């Protein structure tokens, strides 16, 4: 495992926003994770995990942390039991399983890795299905120790998991139980889901939904649209004219622009909208 210094994080996020990681490492094995953690301990900095960066942006300066990315990406199938490494792409898992008649089609079109999906319990909206529906166990590295958690212990909720309340967990592997269905039917649903998304979502530099739905289930886009904020800008950041809960980077947008736009949205909607996107500050901690 190689630890690099001052690695640009912008290119590692779908929104292309962020300064440099003070330290950065790709992790292929559990031993790599242990070594990386010891390095971060010796420097007195946090070790923070980054998946595909499809829900994350970083502060514009130097992030005083060791940013790690799990490259282990195996997918093992045995009957209806699927073991996937945290670095596997969720889209690859969905399509690989579909060919074998295993149905994860409700997770179609969600960019990112298995690790990112477990961390934020990725899925459909508050009323829909989320990845936790399929989870049996999760292997996680926390404070220098390996743990295996049952689904109940993961305390999943709408875009929530216990991992969000822990200090810098590293998700490593998940075991899923996936129902069988005819491969052709699954493929048809996958295509329909993809088509629906291409109509409703911008296909550009974005990190997906910026805010969670309100506790009563009202989608954030409705509140933002009602305040006439579609198309509003701060620097090169814009509230997508196509989907009001997506912020898009139209050029050289910065973290500061994104924060300004979030503040404007909260002020103009007069609603304490909770972030779904991860805004990671210079200390490596998420901002609210």
Ligand X SMILES: Cc1cc2nc3c(=O)[nH]c(=O)nc-3n(C[C@H](O)[C@H](O)[C@H](O)COP(=O)(O)OP(=O)(O)OC[C@H]3O[C@@H](n4cnc5c(N)ncnc54)[C@H](O)[C@@H]3O)c2cc1C
Contacting ligand X (CB under 6 A), which of 20, 206, 232, 269? 206
Residue of the chain from 52, 135, 176, 247 that contacts ligand X (CB under 6 A)? 52
Q: Which candidate, 38, 33, 34, 43, places its Cα nearest to that of 65?
A: 43
Please, which residue, 235 or 286, has the CB nearer to ligand X? 286
Select 198 or 228, whichever has its Cβ closest to ligand X.
198
209 is catalytic: yes
> Interface with ligand X by CB under 6 A: which range of 44-52, 58-66, 210-218, 248-256?
44-52
Distance separating alpha carbons of residues 58 and 284, to the nearest angstrom: 8
Candidates 104-112, 210-218, 233-241, 257-265: pick the segment binding ligand X (CB under 6 A).
104-112
Which listed residue (18, 53, 253, 284) binds ligand X by CB under 6 A?
A: 53
# binding residues, ligand X (CB under 6 A) = 31
Name the active-site residue from 16, 151, 159, 278: 159
Q: Are 107 and 122 in contact (CB under 8 A)?
A: yes
Instruction: Tell which one of 50, 224, 237, 261 touches ligand X (CB under 6 A).
Output: 50
Single out the segment in contact with ligand X by CB under 6 A; choices: 35-43, 94-102, 204-212, 253-261. Answer: 204-212
The residue annotated as part of the active site, out of 89, 105, 161, 209, is: 209
Tell me which of 105, 113, 240, 269 binds ligand X, using CB under 6 A: 113
Binding mask 116-145 for ligand X (x = CB under 6 A): xx-xx-xx----------------------
Pick 204 or 260: Cβ nearer ligand X: 204
- List active site positions: 159, 209, 276
Summarize as ranges the residues that interact with ligand X (CB under 6 A). Answer: 14, 48-56, 70, 86, 110-113, 115-117, 119-120, 122-123, 169-171, 201, 206-208, 278
């Amino acid at each position: 495992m190689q630890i690099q210094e001052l690695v640009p994080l912008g290119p590692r996020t779908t929104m292309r926003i962020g300064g440099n990681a003070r330290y950065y490492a790709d992790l292929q094995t559990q031993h790599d994770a242990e070594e990386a953690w010891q390095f971060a301990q010796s420097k007195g900095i946090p070790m923070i995990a980054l998946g595909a960066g499809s829900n994350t942006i970083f502060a514009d300066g130097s992030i005083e942390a060791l940013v790690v990315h799990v490259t282990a990406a195996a997918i093992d199938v045995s009957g209806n039991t699927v073991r996937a490494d945290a670095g596997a792409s969720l889209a690859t898992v969905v399509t690989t399983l579909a060919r074998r008649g295993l149905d994860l089609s409700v997770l179609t079109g969600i960019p990112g890795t298995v690790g990112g999906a477990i961390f934020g319990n990725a899925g459909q909206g508050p009323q829909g299905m989320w990845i936790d529906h399929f989870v049996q166990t999760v292997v996680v590295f926390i404070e220098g120790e390996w743990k295996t958690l049952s689904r109940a212990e993961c305390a999943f909720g709408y875009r929530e998991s216990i991992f969000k309340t822990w200090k810098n967990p590293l998700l490593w592997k998940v075991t899923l139980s996936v129902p069988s269905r005819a491969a052709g039917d699954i493929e048809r649903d996958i295509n329909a889901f993809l088509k629906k998304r291409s109509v409703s979502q911008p296909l550009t530099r974005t990190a997906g939904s910026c805010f969670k739905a309100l506790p009563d289930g009202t989608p954030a886009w409705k509140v933002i649209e009602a305040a006439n904020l579609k198309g509003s800008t701060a620097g090169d950041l814009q509230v997508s004219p196509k989907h009001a809960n997506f912020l898009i980077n139209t050029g050289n947008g910065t973290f500061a622009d994104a924060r300004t736009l979030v503040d404007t949205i909260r002020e103009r909607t007069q609603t304490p909208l909770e972030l779904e996107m991860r805004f990671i500050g210079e200390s490596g901690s998420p901002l609210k």
